[in-house]
């Protein structure tokens, strides 16, 4: 299960170790951009960048991020939004 931590849009980003997987959904100008990084089963780094069709809505952005987080065992999605 993926934990979703909601913070204010201007909140400070968490301090994570270099090897820790991470995933952010960040509000900018009314859009919700997702970005992240993790390691796949083969030990290769994989990056996440949201798709524009998900960026228009916070719920869509978090749902898409959750799918990716589950696939790559990212335990937490940090959501920075005013809503």
Q: Average pLDDT by consecutive 10-residue portion of the chain (83 residues)?
A: 94 89 96 96 96 97 97 96 83
In a domain, 50, yes or no: yes
Q: Which domain holds residue 31?
A: 3-10+20-80
In a domain, 15, yes or no: no
Q: What are 4's strand-pairing partners?
A: 77
Give the single-character DSSP code of 62: H
pTM over 0.85: yes
| Helix or strand (DSSP H, E) at 56 | none
Q: What pLDDT score was predicted for residue 41? A: 92
Q: What pLDDT score was predicted for residue 23? A: 97
Q: In what order do the strands lie in the sheet with 76-80?
A: 3-7, 76-80, 22-28, 31-39, 45-49
Count of structural domains, the chain:
1
Q: What pLDDT score was predicted for residue 37? A: 96
């Amino acid at each position: 299960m993926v934990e979703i931590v909601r913070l204010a849009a201007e909140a400070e980003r968490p301090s994570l170790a270099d090897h820790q997987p991470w995933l952010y959904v960040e509000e900018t100008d009314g859009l919700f951009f997702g970005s992240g990084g993790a390691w796949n089963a083969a030990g290769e780094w994989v990056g996440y960048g949201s798709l524009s069709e998900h960026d228009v809505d916070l719920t869509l952005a978090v749902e898409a991020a959750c799918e990716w987080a589950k696939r790559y065992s990212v335990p937490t999605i940090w959501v920075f939004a005013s809503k």
